[in-house]
Chains A and B, each alone.
Chain A
Amino acid sequence: MEPRVAVLSGFGINCETETMAVFEMAGASAERVHVNRLVNEEARLSDYQIMAIPGGFSFGDHLGSGRLLGNRLRFGLREQVREFVTSGKPVIGICNGFQVLVKMGLLPGDDEVSLTQTASLALNDSGHYENRWATLEFDPESPCIWTEGLDRIRVPVRHGEGKFVTDDATLMDKWADSGQLVARYVDPATTYPSAGDEPLPYPISPNQSWRNVAGVCDPSGLVFGLMPHPEANHSTWLGATWTREDLVHGEGEGMGIFHNAVRNVLQA
C-alpha cells in the first residue's frame, strides 16, 4: 500500500507540483490538498500518512513569512494537526512550509505539541531574497527520521527570511543536545563531518543563521523543516554544476529525504 501524502496548497504556496512529484518518485501517492478543504472538512488529515507543507510565498510573506498561513493552521486546524503529529506521522515543511511550522510552534516544538512559537526565521543578514546553492550536512545523532543515514546534500536555497534565531539562547543548546538542529550549512571544501556552531561566512551560509542551522526537527524526529529545497534536486540534471561532473544520470541528492519518510511509513 502506497503511503498517502497530503501536500498542502493554496494562498500562495507554490512548490506543490514538485513536492508531489518527489513523493511520487519515492513511491508514495501524493495529493494536492487545499488548506480550506481541511478546514471545511471536505478532506481529513487523518486519511493521510504524511503531510507536507511546500515552499512558496503564502500571503506574499506579508507580516512575516509563514505567519498568516501559520495562523490559519494554528487557529483553523489546531486539533487536526496535533492529532496527526501525536499519532506518529511524518510532517515536512520546506522553505515557506518550514517558516509556517516554526511560526505555528510545531518546530522546534515540544513533547506536548503545545504549538507555542519558540524560534523564528528572520530576514537574511543580506536583507534580501536570494537563489543560490548551498551544501547541507545532517546530524547523524539526530532522531530525525527524514535525514537518517544521510550525510551531505547540495540543494538550492531560495528565500529572504531564513535566518534561524531564537530569543532564548539556552534553547539552542537544548535543541543541539537533543539532535534537533539537524541540518546545517557547511563549507563544501571541507570533509564530512564538519558542521560547526561558528557562523560561516556569506555565502556559504546564505543567511547568517545561528549555528548555521538550515533545518530542525521536533523532539520526536517526525516533524522536520528546512529552508533549502531538497525537492528541487530530485534529478541529477538539476544540480548546479552537473555539466562539470562525471556522473551517471538518475535521482538527485535531495531524494534521500523523501525515501526516508516513505520507508518510515511502510515500516510502521
Chain B
Amino acid sequence: MPTETNTRLFEVTTKDLDGLPDARGESVRSMLKADHGIDVLSVRVILGYQVKSDISDEEAESLIYDLFADPVIEVGSMGSRMLDDFPNPPEAAIQVGFKPGVTDNSGQAGLDGLTTLFPNQTSAMVATFATYAFWESEDSISPDDLAAILHNPMIERAAVAGRDDCAKRAWPLLEFPEMPPAIFQEPATVDLEVSDEELIEISEKGLLALNLDEMRAIQAHYRDPLVRSVRKETGLPPDRPTDAELECLAQTWSEHCSHKIFAARIRHTDKVTGEDSTIDSLFKTHIMQPTLDIQADVDWLLSIFHDNSGVISWNDDWSVCIKAETHNSPSALDPYGGAITGIVGVNRDILGTGLGARPIANTDVFCFGPPDYSGDIPPGLFHPSRVFRGVHSGVRSGGNESGIPTVNGAIVFDERYIGKPLVFCGTVGLMPRLLSDGRESHVKTPHPGDIVYMVGGRVGSDGIHGATFSSLELTEESPSSAVQIGDPITQKKMLDMILEARDAGLIQVITDNGAGGLSSSVGEMAELTGGAELDLGAVPLKQAGLSSWEILVSESQERMTVGVNPVDCADFEALAALHEVEATAVGSFTDSGAFVVRHGETPVANLTIDFLFDGCPQLVLESEWQPPVHLPVETPDLDEFGMGDILGRLLSRPNVASKEWWVRSYDHEVIAQSVIKPFVGANHDAPGDAAVIAPLQGGTQGLVVSNGIAPRYSDIDAYAMAAASVDEALRNAVCVGVDLDLISGLDNFCWPDPIESSKTPDGKYKLAQLVRANRALDDVCRAYRLPCISGKDSMKNDAMLGGEKISVPPTLLFSLLGNHHDVRKAVSSDFKKPGDVIFLVGQTHQELGASELSYMLRDEGAGGIGGAVPEIDPERNMSAYRALSAAMRDELVASAHDCSDGGLAVALAECCFGSDSGAKVDITPMWSDCEHLDVWGALFGESLGRILVSTRPEDRQSFEKSMEGVVCHHIGDVLEGDKISFSRDEHVILSASMQVLRDSWKGTLHGGGV
C-alpha cells in the first residue's frame, strides 16, 4: 500500500577496517595540501542521499545496503546523522550539495537504482550531498575558508558547522534542492520600430550579442511587405518579431555560431611594408581556399567545412573525422562542469557527423594561469590551480565515463589565461564508408517529410544563452544559467543507440544540440531540405513551465536531433526504448522555405531559411600591423654546471614539466588501440610525441593524432605563432612515422576581441595579429599539403573584472589527424640503448625571441623576451620530414623526438628520461647552419623543423645515406649512467645529472598524494 511522500536522508561512509583508509577523505586532505598549503590531520567524507518517495519504512530500510552502502566496505544509515557516531566530534563539518536545477548525475543514478528495486517509483527524486568532517586543521583556517574551497557557489550550496556547532553536535543540513516550476511567459513580441540606441539596448538587455547593423537588418526584414503578408497569414504579428524569432536569429547569427569576424571584410594595413589591402573573409581566403586547392589534387577529402566535423577517407572501408571545440567561458565559471560539458559536447559533434560517427579518441589541450600564481586574483575568478583541477577532473570524467581514450594533449601556462582559461576538447571519429543499405555514411540524406526526433536528455532552463554568452566578455554578472554539468551516462546510452540506429539504416540526417539548442540544430538541418516545422509543445522538459523561446534556444546537454523516414519511426523508437533513451518526435522537415515553430497550437516563429542563414550583414573591420617592441633577451655567462642548472630550471617550468600525475588519470587505452601512448620509455614516464592508434582491433593500419600550440610567439608576431603551431603538430606526427601523403589539420583560434571599440582600443592590432596568423596558416598548410578539414574560433577571450581587462594571448591550436601505414613500424621518443647514435635533423638559427628560456630569464629578473622568432622554411622542413619518414619505413630509426619548448637541451633530456640513460653530444656541427649562433640559441632556441633522432650503431650508415640532401647532424651517443653533457669544439658547455634533471621535471606539477 503506498504511503505518503516523504524525504529520507541516507548516509554512507567507509567502514573502519584495518588496511582500508577513507580514500575520499585522504584525497581531500592531499588536495588541500597541494593546492592551498593547508595542513589538516584528518578528513572524513560522508556521502548523503536525500530520497523523496512514497516507499514504506521497511522498503526504505532495504535501500541502505541494497542500494546506497556497500555492505562489505561501507556503513550506511537512514534518518540519523553519521557525524554523531564519531567519538571525537570534528572541528568543522561542511555539507555541500547542488543548487536546485543543477544536474546531479549521482542523484540520477541513485534514482535509476531505486527504480530497479521498486519499479513503480518513477516519480521519486534523489539528491546527493557530501559532508566533509575535519580534525586538527590549522587554527588560521576557518570553516568558511574550507567551504569556499570545497564548493562553487555558482552551482552548489554549502552548510557549515564550526567548532562550537560541532561541539554541540549541531550538524549542517541542506534542504532538498527542489526546483520551483518555471513561470511560463506567453510568447511576446518585440517592437523594433525604435531608435538605434534602443535597438542596441534591446540587444544588450536580452543578451543577444547583436550589433547595430545586425539589429537594423532584422528591423528591415520585418518591414518587407512580402514578409509581412506571409506572417499575417500564419497568425504571427506581421510587423515585428516574436521573442522566439529574435532569440533564434541571435543564436544563429552569434559570433559563436556564424564566425562573423572570420567572415568579415577587413582593410589591412602594415606599417612596416606599407601594405594596404582588403581581405574578403579570412576564412574563405586563408583556410577554405588552400584546402579546396588541395582537394582538387587528392581523392580522400570526403566532406569538408559543412558538417559538424571534416571527414577524410582512411581506407576503402572506413573514413575518419576530427573536430575540436573550446569551452572557455563555462570553464571559467565552473571548471568541472564547463570542461565535462566541453568534452561530451565535442563527442556529439562526431556523433552528428554524416549519418553518425563513433568517437574513438579524445584530445585535450588546456591553457591556464600558472598553478603557483601568487598575485591577486580578480573577484569572480578562481585561482588557476583550482581551474586546473576542476577542468582536469571534468575532462577525466567526461572522457573516461564515455569510454573514449584521451590520447594526446598539452597544457600551457601563462598569466593572461587567468582571465579566461582555454579548454580545447577534440575528438576523432570513425565510420564505415558505406552503410549496409548502400548509403555513404558521410553524406546526410534528409527528405521533406522526415520526422524530427529529439533524442537523449530533456530540455531545462540550464544552458540558456550559452552561444551568445560566449560571444561576450566575461563579467561578474555572467549568468549561472550558462553553466551546465554534462551527463556522460545519458550520453553514452544515446551514443550506443544512435550507432545501432545508423547501422540499421534508420537515420537520414543527424546533428547535435549544442550552441543555440533546437533553434540551431533543427534550423541548420532545415537548410538541407529547405524548411522544417517544430512543435515546442512536444519537447520533453526537465521542469514544467518553460517559455517557448527558452525551449527553442536552451542548450541542455546530451541531445541529438535526428531525422527519420516515417516508415522507420517505429523501429527507431523501439531501439530507443531498448537502450532506455528518450526519443520524441518534435516536428518534421519540409521544403516550404521557412523554419516554422509553434507551441501546441500557438504560432511562435516563422523565419525564412534564406534570412536566417544569409541575412546577417558582413562585418567591416580594420586591422593595422605595427610590430611590438620588447627588451632583448639577456643571457648570463655560466660554466657547464651553471648551464646544467639552467636546464634543470627550464625542465621545472610548468610549460615543460612532466604532466604525468594529471595525464595518468585519463584512460588512454580503452578500445585497445593505443600503439604510441602518452607515456613511453622503460619506466612508462617519458613524454610521447604524437599518439598512434590502430582502431581496428588486430589491424596494423593506424591513425596519428598530434597537436601544436605556441602562444608565446604571439607576443612578437602571431605569424610566427601560427607557423610554429602547425609545424609542431606535423613535427610530432613525423616523429612517430605518419604517412605524409594523408595528413589533415584542424585549426582552433582563440583570440581576444579584435574589434576596435572603447573597451578594446587596441582592436586593430589584435585583428592584424589574426590576419598574420591566418596568412601563416595558409602559407604553411599549402607547403605541407596539409588541408584544414574543420576548425572553430572563439573570439572573445577577455575578462573584464574589477575594471581590469585581461586578454588571452592570441592562441592557435593546430590538431593533426594522419594515416599510419603500419603501426608495427611506429617510432617512440625514448632513446633505446646505450651506444645508439644521436642525430639532429633540421637547421638551428639564433632565434631566442619569445622562447621559453627568454620568459624564464625575464621572470627571474633579467632582460626581456625580444629577439628573432623562429622563422619557418616549410619546403626545407618538408624535405627533411620526407627523408626521415622514409628512414622510418626502412626501420632505421630507433627514436625520434621533436625539439619544441626549451629546445634541443630539453629534448635530449626527455629522450634520456625514457631510457634511464645519459648522453654525450657535441653540437659543433650546428654552427654550419648559422654562423652567429650562440650557445644559448643552440641549446635552448626553438628553431622549427628539428627532430632529435637516434639509430642503432649498425644502422648509422644506412640512416645517413637515407638522409642525404637534408640537414642531419651527427651529434653524439647515448651513454649508460647518469650524466648528460653538451660540448662545442671539445669544450664542455653544459653538464648535468639526469637524476637531478628528472627530479626537477617531475616535481613541479604533482597533484598531491601518491
Contact = CB atoms under 8 A, between A and B. Distances in A.
Interface of A: 9-12, 14-15, 17-18, 21-22, 25, 34, 36-37, 40, 55-57, 59-64, 67-68, 71-72, 75-76, 103, 117-120, 122-133, 156, 158, 163, 165-167, 199, 202-203, 208, 210, 229, 231-235, 237-238, 240-241, 243-244, 249
A14 B73 contact: no
B315 to A, nearest CB: 18
Contacts of B30: 127
Given A129-B400, A158-B669, A237-B675, A167 B15 contact: yes
B465 interface: no
B671 A17 contact: yes
B193 interface: no
Interface stretch (B102-110, B322-330, B770-778, B806-814): B102-110
Contacts of B60: none
Contact of B116 (A72, A210, A231): A72
23 contacts: A11-B489, A21-B697, A40-B578, A57-B492, A59-B109, A61-B401, A62-B109, A67-B70, A71-B113, A72-B116, A117-B72, A119-B72, A122-B73, A127-B27, A129-B667, A131-B664, A158-B667, A158-B669, A166-B72, A232-B670, A237-B694, A237-B823, A249-B824
B496 A10 contact: yes
B832 to A, nearest CB: 6
Contacts of B21: 125
B23 A125 contact: yes
A243 B826 contact: yes
A59 B70 CA distance: 16
A203 B823 CA distance: 29
B26 A127 contact: yes
A237 B826 contact: yes
Contacts of B19: 165, 199, 208, 210
Given A167-B15, A237-B826, A117 B106 contact: no
A202 B105 contact: no
A80 to B, nearest CB: 16
B684 interface: yes
A68 B109 contact: yes
B824 A126 contact: no
B73 A18 contact: no
Interface of B: 14-15, 17, 19-21, 23-24, 26-27, 30, 66-68, 70-74, 105-106, 108-110, 112-113, 116-117, 396-397, 400-403, 488-489, 492-493, 496, 578-580, 664-677, 679-682, 684, 694, 697-698, 700, 823-824, 826-828, 830, 832, 1009-1010
A160 B24 CA distance: 11
Given A63-B106, A127-B27, A229 B669 contact: yes
A128 B667 CA distance: 12
Contact of A14 (B112, B579, B670, B673): B670
**Can you list the 10 inter-chain pairs with the closest CB atoms, starting with the nearest?**
A14-B403, A127-B27, A62-B109, A21-B697, A18-B672, A123-B23, A120-B72, A243-B828, A57-B401, A62-B106
A214 to B, nearest CB: 16
B318 to A, nearest CB: 14
A244 B19 CA distance: 37
Contacts of B684: 132-133, 240-241
B496 A9 contact: yes
Contacts of A57: 400-401, 403, 488-489, 492
A234 B697 contact: yes
Given A126-B23, A127-B24, 19 more contacts: A12-B401, A15-B670, A18-B672, A25-B697, A25-B698, A34-B578, A59-B489, A117-B71, A120-B73, A122-B20, A123-B24, A124-B23, A125-B21, A127-B1009, A129-B667, A165-B20, A167-B15, A229-B669, A237-B826
A21 B72 contact: no
A10 B493 contact: yes
B674 A238 contact: yes
A4 B560 CA distance: 34
Contacts of B24: 123, 127
Nearest to A36: B578
B117 A75 contact: yes
Contact of A71 (B117, B580, B700): B117
Nearest to B692: A237
Given A14-B403, A59-B112, A240-B684, A131 B669 contact: yes
Contacts of B70: 64, 67, 103, 117, 120
A71 B402 contact: no
A188 to B, nearest CB: 11
Contacts, number: 207
A11 B580 CA distance: 9
Interface centre among A62, A67, A166, A202, by most B CB within 10 Å?
A: A62
A165 B17 contact: yes
Contacts of B667: 129, 131, 158
B116 A71 contact: yes
Nearest to B397: A60
A11 B698 contact: no
A36 B579 contact: yes
B116 A75 contact: yes
A163 B15 CA distance: 14
Nearest to B110: A63
B20 A21 contact: no
B579 A34 contact: yes
Nearest to A242: B675
Contacts of A117: 70-72
A235 B667 CA distance: 19
B43 to A, nearest CB: 11
A60 B488 contact: yes
Contacts of B109: 59-60, 62-63, 68
A232 B823 contact: no
Contacts of A156: 669
Contacts of B74: 64
A235 to B, nearest CB: 6
Nearest to B660: A132
Contacts of A18: 670-673, 697
A156 B580 CA distance: 31
A243 B496 CA distance: 34
Given A12-B493, A238-B672, A131 B665 contact: yes
Contacts of A203: 1010
A59 to B, nearest CB: 5
B203 to A, nearest CB: 40
Nearest to B1010: A126
B639 to A, nearest CB: 35
A55 B670 contact: yes
A52 to B, nearest CB: 14
A215 B1010 CA distance: 23
Nearest to A17: B671
A175 B488 CA distance: 37
B403 A15 contact: yes
Given A21-B697, A234-B672, A60 B23 contact: no
Nearest to A169: B18
B23 A12 contact: no
B596 to A, nearest CB: 37
A202 B1010 contact: yes
B396 A129 contact: yes
Contact of B578 (A37, A56, A59, A128): A37
Contact of B401 (A60, A67, A237, A243): A60
B1010 A125 contact: yes
B403 A56 contact: yes
Nearest to A201: B1010
A67 B12 CA distance: 14
A129 B398 CA distance: 13
Contact of B66 (A11, A17, A71, A210): A71
Nearest to A66: B70
A220 B250 CA distance: 65
A237 B700 CA distance: 9
Given A17-B697, A62-B106, A167-B73, A68 B116 contact: yes
Contacts of A229: 669, 672
B675 A238 contact: yes
